[in-house]
Chain A
Amino acid sequence: NAGVMQNPRHLVRRRGQEARLRCSPMKGHSHVYWYRQLPEEGLKFMVYLQKENIIDESGMPKERFSAEFPKEGPSILRIQQVVRGDSAAYFCASSPKEGYGYTFGSGTRLTVV
């Protein structure tokens, strides 16, 4: 029973490049959440998606960031034209349905140089 799978584990991008972070939820889970964690900080909510729908994107920066969860395949968090301030750990979590707690993946650590 695989957990929430995130890849890559580590990603290095130069300023101005694009970063694509992938998240495969646990089997049977149709709800996906993305969080960002800066060093020495707690996790901050970014976006909540169900298959093909964005439910809550109140934590997403208005520019350069987008997320999708297509009918087939993993959820993708996309950051265009990365800047140094985007360097952080990005965590994905999934849950089977509303009203249940969720399980986090091991994260993708993005470093912008």
Chain B
Amino acid sequence: GQQLNQSPQSMFIQEGEDVSMNCTSSSIFNTWLWYKQDPGEGPVLLIALYKAGELTSNGRLTAQFGITRKDSFLNISASIPSDVGIYFCAVSKQGGSEKLVFGKGTKLTVNP
């Protein structure tokens, strides 16, 4: 089946540091999504990317859709304690309205 390789698996950083995580695939996808999941909750959409090469920001978050349509990265600048959680990339072939394939997640820990 389709697989996403998400890295790193976990990160331990100090408050104020910048964070970068990425996701790669062997297949082409037309939509890349980044979600955050807090413990005991469902994933919440952070950023959606629909065009190859697109760079999109949402506050301290920036994500890019790779030009080959096979990868994406998410950056978090000036991390704060509430950034703690698991970050997932997800892809779909269309606009994100049908089934999504998720990566295994990057677990972020921020030390105050």
Is the interface on chain B under 10, 10 to 19, 20 to 34, or 35 or more residues?
Answer: 20 to 34
Query: A91 to nearest B CB, angstroms?
Result: 5
Q: Which of A22-76 contact B (CB under 8 A)?
A: 31, 33, 35, 40-45, 48, 55-56, 58-59
B102 partner residues in chain A, CB cutoff 8 A: 35, 42-44
Report yes or no: A58 in contact with B94, Cβ–Cβ below 8 A: no
How far apart are B9's CB and chain A's nearest CB, in angstroms? 9
B73 at the interface (CB under 8 A from A): no
Q: Bound complex: CA of A102 vs CA of B44, how far in Å?
A: 10
Interface string of A99-113 (1 = CB under 8 A from B): 111111111000000
The 8 Å CB contact of A31, one of B44, B95, B97, B100, is B97
Q: Which interface residue of A33, A42, A100, A106 has the most chain B CB atoms within 10 A? A: A42
B48 CB contacts on chain A under 8 angstroms: 101
Any chain B CB within 8 A of the CB of A20? no
Q: Assess whether B43 is interfacial by the CB under 8 Å rule.
A: yes
Contact (Cβ within 8 A) A45 B43: no
Contacts of B112 in A (CB 8 A): none
CB-based contact B95/A99 at 8 Å: yes
Among B80-105, those with CB < 8 Å from A are 88, 90, 94-105
A48 touches B41 (CB 8 A): no
**Structural contact, B44 and A98, CB atoms closer than 8 A:** no
Taken together as a complex, chains A and B put the C-alpha atoms of A104 and B48 apart, in Å, by 15
Given A104-B44, A106-B42, A107-B42 in contact, is the A43-B97 Cβ separation under 8 Å?
Answer: no
CA A59 – CA B94 in complex, angstroms? 18
Taking A104-B42, A105-B42, A106-B42 as contacts, is the C-beta distance between A41 and B104 under 8 angstroms? yes
> Are A95 and B97 CB-contacts (below 8 A) given A41-B104, A101-B45?
yes
Residues from 58 to 98 in B contacting A, C-beta threshold 8 Å: 88, 90, 94-98
Interface flag for A97 (CB, 8 Å): yes
Given A42-B104, A101-B48, A59-B41 contact (CB < 8 Å): no
Measured in the bound complex, the distance between the Cα atoms of B102 and A106 in whole Å is: 17
Q: Which residues of A contact B41 (CB under 8 A)?
A: 106-107
